[in-house]
Structure 1
Amino acid sequence: MIRHIAWLVAAVMVSGCATYSPEEIASLDYGPYPTNYKEIIQSRLNGTLKDPMSAQIEYRAGPKQVWQKGSIITQKTYGWGVCLWLNAKNSFGAYVGRRPLSFIIRNGAIVDAHGEMETNMFDTGLANAMCNQVGAT
């Protein structure tokens, strides 16, 4: 039930507010294809996870060119979207369970990420939405 509510809230937040015009979309410079996207993401996870060595990462989709219109909690952004599922240990040494994470990479850097706030259903909903956009099922 909570997952459905998170999806609904994420859909409402993503659907409103600032958007790109067709001309802006056509002129977006996504930057070069990030051939080293796994290293870029691993570097981010090394700095954010309690136990990066325990990380079980399953890359699900991407990189794929994506753009995201702004909402109440997200900025307008674009780049190469990547979706993965992550399971890692917490401070107590227990695995927290698989969860989706999504990243937008442009010019070799992560410009947006969702799903890192594991207890925030809105952030998780946005990660799920981006994973769907890049083709993860």
Structure 2
Amino acid sequence: MSFSAIYDIGGSAMRAQVMRLDTVASNLANADTAASSEAEAYRATKPVFSALYTQDFDNRSMSAQVQTLGVVKSDRTVEQRFEPNSPLADANGMVFYSNVNPVAEMADMMSASRAFQTSVEVMNRVSSMQQSLLKLGQ
């Protein structure tokens, strides 16, 4: 595997974690938003990733990267609260709140941050290996 392939893998992994952090930030920003109906309530989003393997036309080298398949909305039920005096209350006095679980989102944020840092460390080690190879050639 070439150094450029390793950089491609690390870079795609970092992009995936940035997307994951973006969805966590969006979810946390909307964690306690209210709506007048269940359909209008904010639903947590999660990115879906897959490993994509590619092979050279001459079958000499293989590479991989993280592919984003899309972003899906959570199917957890939204929270309903009886708040008849709220301007958002429906005819039954119910107000609907997002289905975001802030504790789970914070755990996901920590996991994504650590995964991003791991990719940075991989890239730094590859760079260090390249520098060592250049010094050997002198």
TM-score category of the 2 structures, normalised to the smaller one: under 0.3
Which of these two proteins has the greater Rg computed from alpha carbons? Answer: 2
TM-score (norm 2): 0.23
Larger helix fraction of residues: 2
